[in-house]
């Protein structure tokens, strides 16, 4: 099986036999722009073969993760957007949902807690309270080194660490992931002697999960980062052929482009595993920031099924016909539970006795896709074998590469984000930031 499989049979009413064929020339042109680095944003293509470029720094990441796991009950990861979502996505997909609770109760492991991804004093107070009597380290992540949310948040943790361990003790517990030379964070890290990791110049935030941005927190969470990177390399190896029949990634890019051109304006990424919730959040940034510009682009939205079928199901089935759905299926669950027989059968569920919960989940997915297709929501399906590091590495690369191809087919620069600055200008003016 391909590391990520793509199936568009649930959209056959919309994407007919010739549709993908008619896009072949455009796919080829987009592919050439990407591999020959001739397209818009070509100075931000460092992610393209990144899994093959990890040098000594990766060994330092692993060593730092080992140290943090040995001396800290908690790692606070301070970052936002592209400096946050990838790590969270991988960690939540691959660790037990209660791993942090176990670590916090002293049963082993290091809890990875995220902060700096909002400006909420309520949330920040809780994290500060949580770590104040525990051994903890901080990984502050900011490419620009000047983003308000993580910068303000970091001030609080720096102060707490210095109070707790002294200035030099604190410096041994602060890891800064930032630009190699520019920005306030780099300056501070050099002055204070923090260990630093570099976000390469040519890798944008939303494409940075396989740099130290993601790899350090992911390694601290106890995830096999070698397997994650191996999965991404495997995916890279599968996407060299420009023909969409042979290239699962390019077929996905072509299918979503075709649906957009037919008038769909929303792509709804859905999963049936709660652990994939933050993969959707990461994907939303990847596609939203890459494509939403020049008045164009699919709006990337997400739902967790079956949970959200009980809240959003009505709209998806019956509301404005503006969306198509892309479902992520995990072939083999990490765990399964067999439903037991009950002598009284008061709940009427004995018809399921002997069945695995995964079987029920899969039938829910099939039934939902059938209903939504009938209701005018074309369905695309992405399948990975397991929820393991290799598959998630493959899925990350699949989405990144498809995003680049889709963006070029859309006629935008997929690697800039000029719109992100607009709110900051107003906020700084309101806060009275000096020019």
Return the active site residues.
Answer: 289, 310, 424
Pattern 82-111, ligand PA5, x by CB under 6 A: xx----------------------------
Of residues 214 through 273, those in contact with ligand PA5 by CB under 6 A are none
In this structure, what token pair is assigned to residue 179? 């630009």
Nearer to ligand PA5, 349 or 420 (CB): 420
For 323, list phi and psi in degrees, rounded to 5: -125, 160
Q: How far apart are CA 73 and CA 109, in angstroms?
A: 7
Of residues 110 through 169, those in contact with ligand PA5 by CB under 6 A are 142-144, 147, 150
Burial of 123 (0-12, 13-18, 19+ CB in 10 A): middle
86 three-class SS: helix
Of residues 405 through 424, those in contact with ligand PA5 by CB under 6 A are 417, 420
Q: Which of 279, 218, 208, 230 is nearest to 91 (CA)?
A: 218
3-state secondary structure 42-77: HHHCCCCCHHHCCCHHHHHHHHHHHHHHHHCCEEEE
Query: Any residues with CB less than 8 A from the CB of 51 and at least 6 apart, and which?
Result: 210, 229, 232, 233, 236, 393, 397
Query: Any residues with CB less than 8 A from the CB of 49 and at least 6 apart, and which?
Result: 236
Nearer to ligand PA5, 337 or 420 (CB): 420
Residue nearest to ligand PA5 (CB): 81
Q: Which of 41, 46, 205, 212 binds ligand PA5 (CB under 6 A)?
A: 205
Nearer to ligand PA5, 82 or 231 (CB): 82
Q: How far apart are CA 29 and CA 27, in angstroms?
A: 5
* Binding span for ligand PA5 by CB under 6 A among 79-87, 89-97, 127-135, 340-348: 79-87
288 is a contact residue toward ligand PA5 (CB under 6 A) = no
290 is a contact residue toward ligand PA5 (CB under 6 A) = no
Give least dist CB 355 to ligand PA5, A.
43
211 is a contact residue toward ligand PA5 (CB under 6 A) = no
Q: Which of 80, 113, 131, 377 binds ligand PA5 (CB under 6 A)?
A: 80
* Binding span for ligand PA5 by CB under 6 A among 27-35, 80-88, 154-162, 397-405: 80-88
Interacting residues with ligand PA5 (CB under 6 A) = 80-83, 142-144, 147, 150, 204-206, 289, 417, 420
């Amino acid at each position: 099986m391909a590391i990520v499989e793509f199936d568009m049979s649930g959209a056959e009413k919309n994407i007919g036999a010739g549709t993908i064929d008619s896009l072949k020339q455009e796919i080829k042109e987009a592919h050439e722009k990407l591999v020959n680095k001739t397209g818009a944003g070509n100075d931000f293509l460092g992610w393209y073969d990144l899994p093959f470029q990890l040098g000594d720094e990766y060994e330092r990441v692993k060593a730092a993760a080992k140290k943090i796991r040995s001396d800290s009950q908690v790692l606070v990861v301070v970052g936002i957007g592209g400096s946050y979502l990838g790590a969270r996505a991988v960690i939540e997909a691959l660790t037990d949902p209660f791993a942090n609770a176990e670590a916090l109760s002293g049963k082993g492991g290091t809890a990875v807690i995220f902060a700096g991804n909002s400006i909420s004093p309520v949330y920040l107070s809780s994290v500060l309270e949580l770590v104040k009597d525990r051994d903890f380290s901080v990984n502050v992540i900011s490419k620009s080194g000047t983003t308000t949310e993580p910068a303000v948040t970091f001030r609080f943790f720096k102060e707490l660490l210095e109070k707790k361990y002294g200035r030099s003790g604190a410096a041994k517990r602060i890891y800064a992931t930032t630009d190699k030379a520019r920005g306030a964070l780099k300056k501070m890290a050099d002055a204070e002697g923090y260990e630093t990791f570099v976000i390469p110049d040519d890798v944008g935030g939303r494409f940075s999960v396989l740099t130290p941005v993601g790899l350090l927190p992911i390694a601290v969470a106890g995830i096999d980062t070698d397997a994650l990177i191996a999965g991404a390399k495997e995916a890279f190896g599968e996407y060299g052929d420009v023909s969409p029949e042979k290239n699962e990634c390019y077929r996905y890019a072509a299918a979503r482009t075709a649906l957009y051109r037919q008038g769909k304006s929303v792509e709804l990424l859905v999963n049936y595993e709660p652990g994939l919730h933050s993969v959707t959040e990461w994907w939303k940034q990847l596609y939203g920031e890459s494509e939403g510009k020049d008045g164009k682009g699919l709006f990337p939205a997400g739902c967790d099924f079956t949970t959200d079928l009980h809240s959003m199901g009505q709209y998806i089935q019956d509301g404005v016909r503006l969306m198509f759905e892309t479902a992520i299926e995990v072939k083999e669950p990490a765990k399964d539970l067999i439903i037991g027989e009950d002598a009284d059968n008061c709940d009427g569920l004995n018809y399921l006795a002997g069945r695995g919960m995964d079987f029920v989940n899969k039938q829910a997915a099939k039934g939902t896709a059938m209903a939504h297709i009938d209701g005018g929501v074309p369905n695309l399906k992405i399948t990975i074998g397991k929820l393991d590091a290799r598959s998630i590495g493959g899925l990350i690369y699949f989405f990144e590469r498809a995003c680049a191809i889709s963006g070029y087919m859309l006629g935008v620069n997929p690697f800039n984000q000029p719109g992100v600055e607009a709110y900051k200008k107003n906020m700084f003016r309101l806060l009275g930031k000096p020019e």
